Amino acid sequence: MNHKIKVHNPATDEVIGEIQALDVGEGVKAIERAKKAQAKWGQKSLGQRIKVLQRFKKALMEKADEFSRAISTENGKPLMESMITEVLPTVDITDYFCSKAPGILAKKPIAMRMMKYRKSYIHYKPRGVVYIISPWNFPFVIPTGEVVMALIAGNAVIQKPASLTPMIALKARDLMVENGLDPDLFQVLPMKGEHAFKLIGSGVDYVNFTGSVATGEKVSAECGKHLIPCTMELGGKDAAIVCEDVSIDHAAKYLVWGAFANAGQVCASVERVYVHEKIYNQFVDKVVSIVKELKIGDPFADGVSIGPMKDPHQLKIVQQHVENARENGATVLTGGYKIDGPGQFYAPTILVDVDEDMECVKEETFGPTMPIMKYSDIDDAVQRANDSPFGLNAYVFTADRYRGQRIAEKLQAGTVMVNAALMTYGLPETPWGGVKKSGVGRVHGDDGLRDLCIPSHVNYDLPFEISWNPFLYPYSHRKYKAFLNSLKAFWGQGFSDKLSGIRGLFK
C-alpha cells in the first residue's frame, strides 16, 4: 500500500516525518510473528527477561535529552514536561517492575479452610500477545510503561500508536531492539484506526486501550465479542474541591498546573474547580495572577510553560466549549482565544459564572480551560463533583489532611489526591484507572502487572493418604450422615466444633 502518515510539529505546523502505514494483512502477519517470538520469550526465566529491560532503562537514561526533545517536537509539550511527565516516569516504571516483579509474580499460596489434606497456590503465566492502542497526548510514557510491564510478564507486544504521534513509538521500539530484545517480540504498527480495530479478533490475547469514550466502547465491545480481556482508560472530567481552610497559594499553584499541563490535554486534567464561598474571590484572583504570568510558545524556549495543542480537532472542541460558556453568561477572565500565527496555540482560559449545564463543565474539554464555581456546603460540593458520567481522578485541597481523606473517600473516582494534582500516573506502585465512563480495569501497581498474566491455580495432595473420603465412590447412608453432621458442625457452630466435624470426615 502507498498510504503514508504525515506527522506535524504542532508548534510550527511543519511536516517532520512521513511514516508508512500498514494494512490489516501486514498487521495479522505481525501478530503471527509475535506469537512465535512469545513462545520462546515466555520460556525464559523472569530474571533473563528483566535483564533485557534493565538494559533498555540504562540506555533510556543515557538518551533522556534526545527522547525528551523528540517528544516535544512531535507532541508539542514543553521540554521540561517531556522530561518530567514522559521520560522520567518511564525510567521509574521500568526500574520499579524490574526490581519488584520477582515478588509480585511469585507463587501465591492459598490457605485451605476445609480440605486441610490438600494445598493450593496461584502461579502467573504470560497471556500471549498484548495489543496496546495508545494515545497522542502522552505518546511515550503511556504505551512504553505498559510495554515494559507486558514484556517482563513474558508477553509479546503489538502497539498501534496514535496516527498523530507514531514517531516516538518507533524510536522506543528501536531502543529496545538495540538493547537485545527480539524485533518480533515488540512491534509498532502505524495504521488507520479502522485497520487497527480489525486486529482485535486476529489472534491477540489482551487489549490495552487509551482514548475517547466513543472509541473505547467500540473496542471493548469487540473484545467482548472475542472474549478477550481488556483494560480501558477513557478520560475524565476531573473535579477539584477547595476547602475554606486551605492555603490559597498552595492550592492555586497546584490547580493551575493541574489544569494547564500539556495544554490541558491530560485525561486527569483539572476540568472543574469547586471553591468554598468564603475564599472564592481570593482564590480566583490568585489563579488569574498566576495564569497571566505563564509564558506560551515554542516548547524549546526557556521559560515556556505551555506549548501548542496537538490535535486540530480537539482545538475546535475547546473553542466550542468556551464560546458556549460565553453565550450562556460565563465570564472569561484570561484567555478564551486561539493565538494568531503558526502553530496550534490556545491561551490558558479561566472561566467564572459557569454552571453545570454548560458544555465546559459537563463534557470533557481536553484543553487549557479551568471553570471555577463556588459552593457553601461540602456535601453539596461532593454531590456536584460526583454528578458526572466520568470518574478518573479527583482532587481535594484542605489544611486538614484527615478531613481531606474523609472527603476523598466520598468522591467517585479511581484516584483522589489530597493537596496535589496529576502526579499519580507516574507512580508505578499505585493503580491507575477510572470508574463509570472513565473506563474499566487498572494499569500499574502490583495488580496491574498480574493482570498482564493468567492467574493459574494448582491444587495438590500432601504426602499422606486419608482413610475415608466422602468424595469417592461408593456412596452410602453412613457417609451421607457423617457428611451432614460435619456440614452442620463446620458452618453452624464454633471453631472447636468445626474441627471436630472435619475430623469426623476421616475416621
Q: What residues act catalytically?
A: 233, 267
Cα separation, 70 vs 77, whole angstroms = 10
- Cis status of the peptide bond prior to 474, with omega within 30 of 0: yes
Helix, strand, coil fractions of the chain, as percent rounded to 5: 45, 20, 35
Q: Which set of grid coordinates corresponds to residue 139?
A: 505518546
Query: Within 10 A of 223 (CB to CB), how many other CB atoms are there?
Result: 21
Q: Which of 38, 22, 20, 440 is nearest to 203 (CA)?
A: 38
Q: For helices 64-75 and 167-178, what crossing angle results, to 10°?
A: 160
DSSP state of 474: P
CB-based burial label for 212 (10 Å; 0-12, 13-18, 19+): middle
CA distances 489 to 442, 503, 505, Å, are 41, 11, 11
Q: Please, what's the largest Cα pairwise distance for the chain?
A: 91
Geometric angle at alpha carbon 11, from 7 and 17, rounded to 5°:
20
Give bridge partners of residue 351 from the DSSP assignment: 332, 371
User: In residues, how long is the chain?
Assistant: 507
Cα separation, 28 vs 23, whole angstroms = 9
Geometric angle at alpha carbon 273, from 348 and 232, rounded to 5°:
85
3 state DSSP class of 257: helix
Q: Which of 91, 70, 93, 72 is nearest to 81 (CA)?
A: 72
Q: Are 67 and 168 in contact (CB under 8 A)?
A: yes
Q: Which of 424, 338, 436, 343 is nearest to 385 (CA)?
A: 436
Q: Which set of grid coordinates corresponds to residue 158?
A: 503489538
The phi and psi torsions of 266 (rounded to 5 degrees) equal: -135, 130
Q: Are 231 and 50 in contact (CB under 8 A)?
A: no
Cα separation, 432 vs 444, whole angstroms = 6
Cα separation, 321 vs 120, whole angstroms = 56
